[in-house]
Amino acid sequence: MNRVRITETLLIDCGSERWLCQRCETDLGAARGNYKESCLLHERPLQEVHPPMTGGGAYTFTPNPEYCRLIEFYCPGCGVIIETEYLPPGHPITHDIEIDIDALKQRARANPTP
Instruction: Please state the domain extents for the chain.
Output: 3-110
Q: Give the three-class secondary structure for 63.
A: coil
* Dihedral sign computed on CA atoms, order 49, 54, 57, 61: negative
* Dihedral sign computed on CA atoms, order 60, 69, 11, 20: positive
Alpha helices in the chain (DSSP H): 46-49, 101-110
What's residue 47's pLDDT? 86
pLDDT along the chain (114 residues), means of 10: 89 95 97 97 91 71 89 98 96 94 86 64
